Amino acid sequence: MTNCELCDTTGGAVIWRDARCRVVQITEPGYPGFCRVIWNSHAAEMSDLPETDRVHCMNVVFAVERALRNTMAPAKINLATLGNMVAHVHWHVIPRFTDDPHFPQPVWGVRQREGAPVRAGTSSLAQSIRSELQTH
């Protein structure tokens, strides 16, 4: 055990992984399709990674973005790496819809409405992500 939860746990349901990073799907009410790309080894900032690793990490993030667009057709994709609480590189890849709980605010902002709409495409998302990453 370390003091880092992303070193000690997968951080979600693993959809895909390679030697350097993993894609997980998380359970966030109101946000089906919310994925994270988590670097496997401990690093706090993207600029702590060598350039080839940064490029690889972003290629995986953008592959997840493409899969989310292809399967769920969101109004917008939100990408963010914050790490203020868990300083281990992890990217939030979030499909946003005009009727989701916070739109057009960030998911960390003020809630705009109740409800958690069902989204088409979520059942094929994992396969689409694997397919995008295989193609790449």
The residues of the shown chain that bind a copy of itself, judged by CB under 8 A, are: 44-47, 54-55, 58, 62, 65-66, 69, 75-85, 87, 96, 103-106, 108-109
Which residue, 13 or 104, is less far from a copy of itself as judged by CB? 104
Could you tell me the smallest distance in angstroms from the CB atom of residue 61 to a copy of itself?
A: 8
Residue 40: CB atoms within 10 A of its CB come to 15
Residues 6+ apart with CB under 8 A from 63: 129, 132, 133, 136
Which residue, 13 or 30, is less far from a copy of itself as judged by CB? 30
Which residue, 13 or 51, is less far from a copy of itself as judged by CB? 51
C-alpha to C-alpha distances, 5 to 12, 13, 95, nearest whole angstrom: 11, 14, 24
